[in-house]
């Protein structure tokens, strides 16, 4: 279970650290005024400052038990968390597998795994859908629109 407050804090910290990174990086480009006009780092520096201060405000708002936040104390219930991970974790594995397996194999395996392992579909049907997905991608992108999707290190090893 994740409380609304924890989620607010995590998001504010996330945006805040992005802001800090922007501020630090923009200092490299120089901020302020030079002979060529406004330095390249100035605008990012200002946006970084705005992000940091806005995130701090949201952080404080998240900590203080404000009336509006008390209405929804729980942001994600255990059941919802399970559903979220069951969507996101396979998707992340799929993306991680693309450099090795290539888009076609990875997406076919992904569709098969998501449908067959939790027994949403029978194995033959899941296999058929996986094959159809890969084939569909190939026909639409490689053939119709001539966009080459990554074939993966594995295919390269076999000389494809």
Partner 1 sequence: MDNLPELLHGFTIAVTVPHLALMCVGVLLGILVGVLPGLGAPNGVSLLLPLTFGMQPVSAIILLSSMYWGALFGGSVTSILFNIPGEPSSVATTFDGYPMARDGRPTTALATAFGSAAFGALVGVILITFLASWVAEVALAFGPAEYFAVYFLAFASFVGMGGAAPIKTVVALAIGFAIAAIGIDTVSGSVRLTMGVDELVKGVNFVVAVMGLFGIGELLVAVEEEFHARAVSSKIDWREVFRAVGRLPRHALALLRSAAIGCWMGITPGGPTAASFMSYGIARRFSRRGRYFGTGEVEGIISPETADHAAGTSALLPMLSLGIPGSATAAVMMGGLMIWGLNPGPMLFVDQKDFVWGLIASMYVGNIVAVALVLLTVPVFAALMRIPFVIIAPLIVIICVVGAYSVSNSYLDVVMMLGFGIVGYLFKKLFYPLAPLVLAIVIGDKAEDAFRQSMLMSKGSLGIFFANKLVTCLIVGGIALLLLPLVLQLARPFRKPAPPTNETTAQEKVII
What is the smallest separation between the CB atom of 158 and partner 1, expressed in angstroms?
20
Instruction: Please identify which residue in 3, 58, 138, 155 interacts with partner 1, judged by CB under 8 A.
Output: 58
DSSP 32-52: SEETTEE-TTHHHHHHHHHHH
Question: Does residue 100 touch partner 1 according to CB under 8 A?
Answer: no
- For residue 108, the tally of other CB atoms under 10 A from its CB is 20
Q: Would you mind telling me the total number of residues written for the chain in this entry?
A: 160
Residue 155 three-state SS: helix
What is the smallest separation between the CB atom of 1 and partner 1, expressed in angstroms?
13
Inter-residue contact 98 to 106 (CB < 8 Å): yes
Question: Does residue 38 touch partner 1 according to CB under 8 A?
Answer: yes
What is the smallest separation between the CB atom of 129 and partner 1, expressed in angstroms?
7
Non-local CB neighbours of 151 within 8 Å, separated by 6+ positions: 102, 103, 104, 160
Instruction: Please identify which residue in 65, 124, 143, 148 interacts with partner 1, judged by CB under 8 A.
Output: 148
Tell me the C-alpha distance between 125 and 132, whole Å: 10
State the residues that interact with partner 1 by CB under 8 A: 4, 7-8, 10-11, 14-15, 18-19, 21-22, 25-26, 29, 33, 36-41, 43-44, 47-48, 50-51, 54-55, 57-58, 61, 71, 75-76, 80, 83-84, 86-88, 90-92, 94-95, 98-99, 103, 107, 110-111, 114-115, 118, 120-121, 129, 133, 137, 141, 145, 147-150
């Amino acid at each position: 279970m994740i409380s609304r407050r924890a989620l607010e804090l995590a998001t504010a910290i996330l945006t805040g650290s992005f802001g800090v990174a922007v501020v630090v990086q923009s200092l490299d480009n120089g901020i302020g005024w030079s002979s060529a006009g406004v330095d390249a780092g100035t605008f990012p520096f200002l946006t970084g400052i705005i992000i940091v201060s806005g995130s701090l405000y949201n952080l404080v708002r998240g900590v203080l038990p404000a009336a509006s936040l008390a209405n929804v104390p729980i942001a994600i219930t255990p059941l919802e968390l399970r559903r979220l991970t069951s969507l996101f974790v396979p998707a992340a594995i799929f993306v991680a597998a693309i450099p090795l397996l290539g888009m076609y194999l990875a997406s076919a395996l992904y569709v098969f795994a998501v449908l067959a392992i939790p027994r949403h579909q029978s194995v033959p049907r899941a296999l058929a859908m996986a094959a159809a997905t890969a084939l569909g991608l190939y026909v639409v992108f490689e053939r119709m629109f001539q966009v080459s999707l990554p074939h993966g290190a594995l295919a390269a090893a076999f000389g494809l």
